[in-house]
Amino acid sequence: MSQQLFKDFVKGLWKHNPVFRLILGMCPTLAVTNVAINGLAMGLATSFVLIFSGIVISLIKDFIPSKVRIPCYIVVIASFVTIADLFMAAYYPPIHAVLSIYVPLIVVNCIILGRMEAFAGKVPLKRAFADAFGMSLGFTWALILLASVREFLGFGTVFGATILGAWYPQVLMMKLPAGAFITLGLLIGLMNIVSRKKHV
């Protein structure tokens, strides 16, 4: 049993990493990753929604008629997104202002509905939690990596700490939307090379 739980947890980190392997949740991944701190904030907000919706849906799955399960899932998810949104607006207004509409858009993040449909709606609480926790960590580290690369190349800093001094000619493209697309494309390509080597 505990081995099963570990398996559920660990697959989100690499083998089924939502960003690099499943290619899900592209909108927030691309939109908020210009600096590392935004990536971290978005990762944490999504994790909160994913884990708590997973727990609640796993608990109430026996009461939901299967025909209306998707609308039910969406209501649960939207409620937790509202909580996350209000919490951020109250305690971290600057970050909330930067993320703006991408916080409410967690509602339609395909990772969350995908995990609910594929996992939380079918398995007992413990496994749903392990899965949601693993997926959250996988999503968050992917976002932090992408955002750190962009921040490093774009501003010469990581998490606001200066690494390259004032002499560094900041790469404007990395701060623009184009930088998000190209960096993510190259990172997924890199992950493909790494995972292919691992299989051989």
Q: Tell me the site size for other proteins, rule CB under 8 A.
A: 42
From candidates 10, 113, 137, 164, binder to other proteins by CB under 8 A: 113
From candidates 30, 40, 128, 147, binder to other proteins by CB under 8 A: 30
120 Cβ partners below 8 Å, 6+ apart?
Answer: 53, 54, 55, 57, 58, 61, 128, 131, 132
Query: In the block, which residue shows the tokens 């413990």?
Result: 126
Residue 129 CB, nearest approach to other proteins (Å): 23
Name which of 9 and 48 has its Cβ closer to other proteins. Answer: 48
Q: Both tokens of residue 86?
A: 């209000």
Residue 5 CB, nearest approach to other proteins (Å): 29
Give the range of 39-47, 54-62, 101-109, 146-154 binding other proteins by CB under 8 A: 101-109
- 105 in contact with other proteins (CB under 8 A): yes
- 163 in contact with other proteins (CB under 8 A): no
Q: Both tokens of residue 142?
A: 């992917």
3-state secondary structure 18-77: CCCCCCCCHHHHHHCCCCHHHHHHHHHHHHHHHHHHHHHHHHHHHHCCHHHHHHHHHHHH
d(CA 121, CA 68): 12
d(CA 161, CA 38): 14
> Measuring CA to CA, which residue among 9, 131, 125 is closest to residue 62?
125
Site residues for other proteins, window 32-61 (CB under 8 A)? none
d(CA 109, CA 161): 30
Residue 106 CB, nearest approach to other proteins (Å): 9
Residue 130 CB, nearest approach to other proteins (Å): 25
- 110 in contact with other proteins (CB under 8 A): yes
Give the range of 120-128, 136-144, 153-161, 179-187 binding other proteins by CB under 8 A: 179-187
Binding footprint of other proteins on the chain (CB under 8 A): 23, 26-28, 30-31, 70-71, 74-75, 78-79, 81-82, 85-86, 100-101, 104-105, 107-110, 113, 173, 176-182, 184-186, 188-190, 192-193, 196
